[in-house]
Amino acid sequence: MSGAGNAPKQLVVLGDSGVHGWGDREGGGWCQRLRLEWMNLPLAPVIYPLGIRGDGLERVAARWRAEWSCRGELRRQRPQGLLLSVGLNDAARIGRFDGRPQLDVDAFAFGLGQLLSEMRTEVQVFVLGLTPVDEEVMPFANCLWYRNDQIHATELAMAEQCRDADVPFMALHEGMQQEPGWLGWVEPDGIHLNADGHHWIHHQIRQWPALTEWAGMSPNITNTPMRL
């Protein structure tokens, strides 16, 4: 899985509207912010943001191999890293506050475990946790109820599956909720993050030792102050 010569590594980022950067009208989302930052660093990995709004685990599982395998920049090369950011849409409850989730926690955990087992035989995998929502403005799109208890349970299941698969995982849900004023980082729809929310995630990711060590860089913990 190593690149040829001095060619930089490639990192495929798969997920939903968070990867796409929906809501960040300033920087295009946390993934775009990281892509632009790394673009200015010699031999930093090339990032391919591949987020699709509304995607859940099953859709990402269906497309990951085709998305990953076609993005090698040199002959016979495939990206050496894959960052997975999915699960928020799976946690939404349908129709009412106590409706059934799109994918219950046990089913999500089983599916994620299968997916990680498949991915890690081909590529170095990293998994990003889930962000909190503003429950006061639910339902989303008049039919989906996102709840923080369901999201928290889903993220715990993600962490457990990653431990079992020896895959680096970075939690987000509790950490963001501990930040003063975090609700101001959420768009009026209650689930997508605005520029401040994406800025916060970017700040966490650029300090993530597992990812920065894989990328061949030291964690960048300066020059990105949180905005008040």
Write out pLDDT tens, residues 96-124.
888 998 899 999 999 999 999 999 999 99
Indicate the DSSP class of residue 176: H
pLDDT per position as a tens digit, 71-85: 877 667 788 999 999
User: 153-173 b/e with 16+ CB inside 10 Å = b?
Assistant: bbbbbbeebbeebebbbbbbb
- Domain 10-215 top-level CATH class: alpha beta
User: How far is CA 175 from its chain centroid?
Assistant: 15
Handedness of CA 115, 35, 206, 225 (dihedral sign): negative
The domain segmentation of the chain, as residue ranges, is 10-215
pLDDT per position as a tens digit, 28-66: 999 999 999 999 988 899 999 999 999 999 999 999 988
Find the mean pLDDT for residues 20-29: 96
The answer to whether residues 44 and 215 touch, using CB atoms and an 8 Å cutoff, is: yes
Q: In the prediction, which pLDDT does 222 show?
A: 45
Angle between helices 148-165 and 105-119 (to 10 degrees): 30
The answer to whether residues 99 and 114 touch, using CB atoms and an 8 Å cutoff, is: no
pLDDT per position as a tens digit, 179-195: 999 999 999 999 999 99
d(CA 12, CA 192): 21
User: How far is CA 18 from its chain centroid?
Assistant: 7
d(CA 29, CA 50): 12
Cβ contacts of 184 within 8 Å, gap of 6 or more: 196
